Structure 1
Amino acid sequence: MWPSVTFHADHQKRVAADKRAQKQLVPTRSHCSSRQLGDQLNRQSTQSVNKSRRALRQSRRASTVAKGLRKFGDHGESIACLGRKKKSSKQRRGASPKLEVWRPGVDPLDEGEELQYEPSAYDTIHAFRLGWPCLSFDILRDELGALRHEFPLTLFCTAGTQAAKPADNRLIVAKLTNISGKKRGVELAASDDGDSSSSSSDESDDEEMSDKTPKLEVRMIAHHGCINRIRSMPQEPNIIATWSETGVVQIWDVKSLLQELSSGNAGSSSRIAHQAPLQVFSGHEVEGFALDWSLAHQGWLASGDNNGVIHVWQPNRREWIVGGRALVGHSSSVEDLQWCPTLDPFRLASCSSDGTLRLWDVPTCTCTAMWKIHDADVNVISWRSDSVLASGGDDGIIYLWNLKHLKDGPIWMTNYHSAPITSIEWSPHDSSMLAATSADNQLSVWDFSVEADPEEEAQVKQSVAAPKGLPESLLFVHQGQRDLKELHWHPQLLGTIVSTSFSDFNVFKPSNL
């Protein structure tokens, strides 16, 4: 039976044990300074970073990093900011202790200490679940405005489940409305039996804030087998591709479901649609995870499997031509694919568990460049411009590469994370900003246009014991989700990030973006 769709607030006591078990984090210096790297990236980008926003972030960096590295007590709502505070007799008499930043895998949680959420680090943060864990999702572009930042916010997304039984899996289309920036925490929406409740740090405000409770509405399509990866076509968000554990890639049209959710009176529904996909391709022979739609050429899709084979889908009216000559070269599984977003729309990048990055000329099916970029599996890549690409691997390292000069090595790197990188993505609104998720249960945001200001950090240290040795470009760290899998910046909601994990989804906007 399909589990009910609810917002949640389960207070489990797992974080401290999980974090203590992690390896020590060892931040390293970048190959070049943040200022030099920022200048290099900005020269190569066609986008410009607003100077006033850059100055604001730079002035607030130290305090927000300090807050952002605190870990939330474990509401599963993922909240990244916690301070560590001893329950001493002086504290019980009303004294205000100095907050200390708690670093996962580095700092123990001693008896008598507790983790506290720092709400000022976020403009908004909410968590929700869609029944079974969804380890891949995508943002659905809408027609509510190209760039929005005023609360309350509305977003649409699609996700694929990881159910215990193949027949219980679903392709989900969800709408989340009334996302307020005034109340942070986890809200409970109406469940299938009509019950509703709410949970916040101030329960006395529940009744008067009930009209500001986020509302979650979903529609579901039966999908045989767990969904390894799901992606929406940027130009037609209702066209969705799924990679199934059964070894097939399918394309779906969810236009009718989106119309129901957009009607304004969709209401809650647990009905499961049994809808046939537009197209099914079983030519991969084995399952895979790599999947990407072209941003420059509408309808072009690439899929890669665990045998190292890549197929390109060419649109032909409402069908796709696929299964011809494949892109073959990787000696192990293809982990991620990225189409060139700008000047060369038929250029494709692939990364593999063989540790290499390959660039392909799609019309000729030839590999134009190959380079060993990690000493471990390369899990994810993100193409920011025609020549700058970010990569993350099983070694926990994030690299930035200039594709025109691969032989010169990375232009930046960090091993801040202590576990494999599971997702990485450039901001669509700020060309110098990158976000990544890791199996160490941290989501990090990096800004290469700012660098540490000793005077600002000295002022912050008077009230917060910030750790030493943080990477200069580290802007924000979000924590609290267990086994983080994927993140996406919302292309229409400025500074808003959505992330998914084994425990839940989070929607949040850091206060310093």
Structure 2
Amino acid sequence: MDNSTQESHLRSDTLVTYDSPHTLYAMSISSSPTNRIALGSFLEEFTNRVDVVSFDDQTLTLKRNPNLSFDHPYPPTKLMFHPNPLASGKPNDILASSGDYLRLWEIKENSVEPISLLNNSKSSEFCAPLTSFDWNEVEPRRIGTSSIDTTCTIWDVERGVVETQLIAHDKEVHDIAWGEAGVFASVSADGSVRIFDLRDKEHSTIIYESPHPDTPLLRLAWNKQDLRYMATILMDSNKVVILDIRSPTMPVAELERHRGSVNAIGWAPLSCRHICSGGDDGQALIWELPTVAGPSGIDPMSMYTASSEINQLQWSAAKPDWIAIAFANKMQLLKV
């Protein structure tokens, strides 16, 4: 199949598959009418790739535009389109990526232009790698990054300056998520979930700690439909931990039906009670959180099995009927 006009060839009414020439990890779905999906390669070398594919939900096809593929230094640890395209002030999609630095790119109709490279290291051109970032939906000028150097940095990306930098944890910070305009949370190798309010930078609130000391927490997802709830996952664990920030320390639910480590989580964009998880067992599970959990735990409401470990998932905000999962060199869109 010619890569230049590569289209998905495995499809049904509920499943569309895109085959990439590379192993995939980072992934983002645009919320603009372009229906674009950015896919980052995971290659153990300096030069990696970001491909941009378009999804046609009428013909159920995915098409790659070779003019929108570009080199990226190191594998991107995260990709994210501007969460509010109308507020970006630009007619085109804006894409952010993290790796060695935070970068912004403008995705034009047939080209990609780098907008900015943001580096907060004063001492040298080298900096601690960024593990993740989150783009603030309420204040789109803000992006928060997390780093292996224990810090979280809040950028004003419109001005290209650091708004603030916090030593957030005792060890590497693995993920960051915005709640409100000035409130974010982070998870770390120190095993804690902490919430920060930019109005009081000296203090943070620990709302959860791993039951086994120093078990790293890898991912964090804040429920945008109900900010009382967030989800996190532990390293080498089959559990998704659901937290209620009103009752710290004790999870309100633990979802334990995966048969391997959970790697990715995503809340439904339009529902406060639905979440999807993907793991090493190749399963993408969709859960409906009950108002009261039963004594035997919670079973998923639906299940999809991929052919290998699921490394990443995204629940589309623009098209809430679709969830994208990445495994090996494939990206699949699942209709839910």
Give the TM-score range, shorter chain.
Answer: 0.7 to 0.9
- Asked if structure 1 preserves the Cα contact closer than 8 Å seen for 2:257 and 2:299, the reply is no
Give the aligned partner of residue 89 of structure 2: none
The answer to whether 1:235 aligns with 2:84 is yes
Identical amino acids, percent of aligned pairs: 14
Q: CA deviation at 1:276?
A: 3.5
Verify the 8 A CA contact 2:6 2:64 in the aligned structure 1. Answer: no
- Structure 2 residue aligned with 1:301: 143
Alpha carbons of 1:234 and 1:481: their partners in 2 closer, same or farther (altered >3 Å)? farther
Q: Note the 1:429-448 alignment, pairs <5 A.
A: 429-448=270-289
Give yes or no for contact 1:4–1:131 (8 Å, CA) kept in 2: no
Q: Please name the residue that 1:353 is paired with.
A: 189
How big is the shift at 1:418? 3.0
The 3 A distance-change label for structure 1 pair 123 and 451 is farther
| Distance change in 2, residues 1:418/1:231 (3 Å) | same
Deviation of 1:429 after TM superposition, in Å, equals 1.8
Query: Deviation at 1:294?
Result: 0.6
Task: Verify: 1:286 aligned to 2:162, yes or no.
Answer: no
Contact kept in structure 1, 2:258 and 2:281, CA below 8 Å: yes
* Displacement of 1:423: 1.2
How far residue 223 of structure 1 moved from its aligned partner, in angstroms, is 1.9
Which structure has more RCO (C-alpha within 8 Å, separation ≥ 6)? 1
Give the Cα–Cα distance (whole angstroms) in 1 for the partners of residues 127 and 6 of structure 2.
Answer: 37
- Take 2:208 and 2:261, find their aligned partners in 1: how far apart are those partners? 17
Q: Give the structure with the higher percent strand.
A: 2
Q: What SS does structure 2 have at the residue aligned with 1:443?
A: strand
| Distance in 2, Cα, partners of 1:371 & 1:231 | 26
Contact 2:22 2:329 in 1 (8 A): no
Give, in angstroms, the shift of residue 136 of structure 1. 0.7
SS state of the match for residue 246, structure 2? helix
Q: Measure the CA separation in 1 of the matches of 2:57 and 2:94.
A: 26
* Inter-partner Cα distance in structure 2 for 1:330 and 1:143: 39
Matched, 1:380 2:185: no
Unaligned ranges ≥5, structure 2: 86-91
Q: Which residue is equivalent to 1:362?
A: 198
CA separation in 2, counterparts of 1:401 and 1:504? 32
Residue 56 of structure 2 is matched in structure 1 by 177
The two structures have a TM-score, normalised by structure 1, of 0.56
* Residue 506 of structure 1: aligned partner: 332
Partner of 1:156: 36
Structure 1, gaps ≥5 residues long: 10-76, 80-121, 145-154, 181-212, 261-272, 453-468
In structure 1, the residue matched to 2:30 is 140
CA shift, 1:449, in A, is 4.8
Instruction: State whether structure 2 residue 327 is matched by structure 1 residue 479.
Output: no
**Could you tell me which of 156, 160, 163 is aligned with 1:320?**
160
**Contact 2:128–2:148 (CA under 8 A) maintained in structure 1:** yes
8 A contact 1:233–1:299 mirrored in 2: no
> Using the alignment, how far apart are the partners of 2:39 and 2:63 within structure 1?
14
Q: What CA distance in whole angstroms lies between the structure 1 residues aligned with 2:43 and 2:308? A: 17
- Please list, as runs of the form range in 1=range in 2, the aligned pairs for 1:387-402 lying within 5 A after superposition: 387-394=228-235, 395-402=237-244
Distance 1:280 1:481 in 2: 38
Asked if the contact 1:172–1:220 (Cα under 8 Å) also holds between the matched residues in 2, the reply is yes
Deviation at 1:441, TM superposition (A): 1.5
CA distance in 2 between counterparts of 1:450 and 1:177 reads 37
| C-alpha distance in structure 1 between counterparts of 2:292 and 2:177, whole Å | 29
Whole-angstrom CA distance in 2 between matches of 1:490 and 1:327: 31
Task: Specify which structure has the higher proportion of helix.
Answer: 1
Alignment of structure 1 residues 481-496 onto 2, 5 Å: 481-496=307-322
Corresponding residue of 1:119: none
Separation in structure 2 between the aligned mates of residue 493 and residue 425 of structure 1, nearest angstrom: 14
